[in-house]
Structure 1
């Protein structure tokens, strides 16, 4: 039963992380606090992959629901090992969602923002890789939206951090659920044979 308590605590830990991922992704749509950039299609294409909303946010609802509902399911289903198998599948969904969020956020961070420069609307750092992150003097190449580089770097870094935590939490439950699902039936058989 302690594995159920552990899973429930992991489920509670995922709730604020998923919420923050959704908020960070939504904020990427309103640089400089204006929605006109969305209306004029002046955002980086990676924002439209909904890495924080879908991968780090909505996809986490599956593991959250399963992890928090495991105790009730054991009461109605009867066997903890079957419930643990379900938690392993839910953890895999969480691992996939957090992995997606991490990968897209990392690519978006490496490619840099889409902004208005002296050459028009372009992604001025797209071919620079991570070097532009350390060349802050070049950030002023982006005229509009104001402070778009700082905005993107901050929010994408937050998404990277949150998705890493989500990945760790789901991976912990994956291991815990796998061990419980595989080992508990063996332990019960061993106890039964000793009692017999």
Structure 2
């Protein structure tokens, strides 16, 4: 596969991951489908960091667009374009790493919910034990199913950001090869 086709493949793979990150981050603002929790600021700090919207979303979507344009000429993209794709892919790596770190911290700290003592973050000092212990999860009374909601969306953000880091890292290497070796390959040569 030439570097132009590889760029196109990477960009096409990054699009749905970026959109999924954006959607997950937006949905995190509405536990139990209710806007009241966001209005009253009863959401975790990790949600307000908007790592899925900014990091895994915009900071990956913009490089994906450029990387796609770089590869849109098939195997004959120019060397300058491939060089710039390295910088854009690096932005994508930074954005997806931001999303990865925030999602990891959010999974470790747990959700913000109503306990018998009122609004609290009951799993904050638990080192993420709530992830494997169903009994501990019962501390959260409301919003309904907040623990599963929190785990599901942040685990999705974690997985998508891992894939984004890998894809953007591959594009950095691909861009380097395209810049140094050229991107055009004759059909008659190996």
Corresponding residue number in structure 2 for 1:102: 100
For residues 126-173 of structure 1, the C-alpha deviation after alignment (integer angstroms, 9 at most, x for no partner) is 000121211111111111111111100011000000011111110000
- C-alpha deviation, 1:11, in angstroms: 0.7
The TM-score with structure 1 as length reference comes to: 0.88
User: 2:131 matched to 1:145?
Assistant: no
* 8 A contact 1:62–1:93 mirrored in 2: no
Paired positions, count: 183
How many Å separate the matches in 1 of 2:132 and 2:101? 21
Report which of the two has the higher share of helix.
Answer: 1
1:127/1:71 CA distance change after superposition, 3 Å: closer
1:188 counterpart residue number: none
RMSD: 2.0
**1:50 and 1:154 mapped to 2: Cα distance?**
16
Matches for 1:60-71 after TM superposition, within 5 Å: 60-71=60-71
2:27 & 2:103 partners in 1: Cα distance? 14
Distance 1:160 1:79, change over 3 A: closer
- Taking the aligned partners of 1:66 and 1:118, their CA distance within structure 2 comes to 51
Instruction: Classify 1:23/1:166 alpha carbon distance in 2 versus 1 (closer, same or farther; 3 Å).
Output: same
Taking structure 2 as the reference length, the TM-score comes to 0.90
The higher radius of gyration belongs to: 1
Q: Structure 1: state its 5+ residue gaps.
A: 186-196
Partner of 1:154: 152
Greater than 4 Å deviation, 4+ residue runs: 71-74
The offset of 1:179, in angstroms, is: 2.3
5+ residue gaps, structure 2, are 184-190
**Deviation readout 1:91-136 (Å, 9 max, x if unpaired):** 0000001000000000011000011111111100000012121111
Instruction: Give the structure 2 partner of residue 2 of structure 1.
Output: 2
Please show how residues 43-122 of structure 1 align to structure 2 within 5 Å: 43-71=43-71, 80-122=78-120
